[in-house]
Amino acid sequence: MRKISIYALLLTFIILQGCATDNESNSAEEVNGQASQEEMESNQNSDLEEQDGEEEDQAGNVSEEEETQSAADSNAEESKEVEKEYQINESTWTVDPITDADPKVALLTIDDAPDANALKIAQTLKKLDVSAIFFVNGHLVNSPEKEEVIKEIYDLGFAIGNHTYSHSNLKDLTEEEQKEEILKVNDMVEDITGERPRFFRAPFGSNTDYSKGIAAEENMTIMNWTYGYDWEKEYQTREAIADIMVNTPYLSNGANLLMHDRTWTMEAMEDIVKGLQQKGYSIVNPDAIK
């Protein structure tokens, strides 16, 4: 008896410790704000380069096992007629209703696409009948196969967003360079899909007044995000990322979820979506965002 209760006590202690650690690291993130996010995204960039070689093969294979194209096409058509019921709040980056639409929604976004997993992620989301924005880095669209991946994701009904050409910090660039970083991707995406991106996400969430102006001229909605974890070492497993994306204390109405084209994120995607839905959140359709 006594042994059992000691174990129970220990277990409770361990669980409480776990929660405390999560909360700590999250609030730390908020306090550090931009700086820590910048660091994290730059970590993720070096990962990206290391993985590049191996991933191209995978992407090639994935694109061969495609879903039924006719169904996909008709879905892409349908999605453009969606009524605009939400807008991005530029101080919190949440997705807020502008009508009497359900406020309990979450937006899924996948950055640094297309690397090795974007198409798989799109196929998983399609199977689950939910939508997302894939933010494309122009320099990753470096082969006909990669162009095909963008086209397939678009044809499956997903929004293709602009994440700049080379993923540089816009604050380090001249105005001319910023313009090129942004417009090059819009031209590229339009060439591939026939439609210019409607959403813009600056690398590291680092917008400038000038880049905001360019985004506005291009009729793009700017967005950063409310939370994300998949670039942190401790969350680079299917189980860990699936758990934190659903059970983070930052999940709230209009949450804007930052995820990346990564293997563990791809593997966790179904659990993440189902976990959010079990908590009563609907996945918002980007076409319904102004």
CA distance 209 to 197: 20
* Cβ atoms 206, 214 nearer than 8 A: no
Q: Which residue is associated with the tokens 């001319």? A: 176
Q: Would you say how long the chain is, in residues?
A: 290
Question: Nearer to Zn ion by C-beta: 32 or 99?
Answer: 32
Give the bridge partners for 135, in sequence order.
161
- Number of residues located near Zn ion, criterion CB under 5 A: 2
Q: Which residue is associated with the tokens 């669980």? A: 15
Which residue's Cβ lies closest to Zn ion? 111
Question: Nearer to Zn ion by C-beta: 111 or 155?
Answer: 111
- The least distance separating Zn ion from the CB of residue 16, rounded to whole angstroms, comes to 34
112 lies in the binding site for Zn ion (CB under 5 A): yes
Question: Nearer to Zn ion by C-beta: 111 or 152?
Answer: 111
Question: Nearer to Zn ion by C-beta: 44 or 277?
Answer: 44
Q: What are phi and psi of 107, to 5 degrees?
A: -105, 130
230 lies in the binding site for Zn ion (CB under 5 A): no
Q: Which among 145, 115, 95, 113 has a CA at the least distance from the CA of 282?
A: 95
Query: Which range touches Zn ion (CB under 5 A), out of 71-79, 111-119, 147-155, 172-180?
Result: 111-119
CA distance 195 to 219: 12
Query: Which range touches Zn ion (CB under 5 A), out of 71-79, 90-98, 103-111, 181-189?
Result: 103-111
111 lies in the binding site for Zn ion (CB under 5 A): yes
Binding residues for Zn ion, rule: CB under 5 A, are 111-112
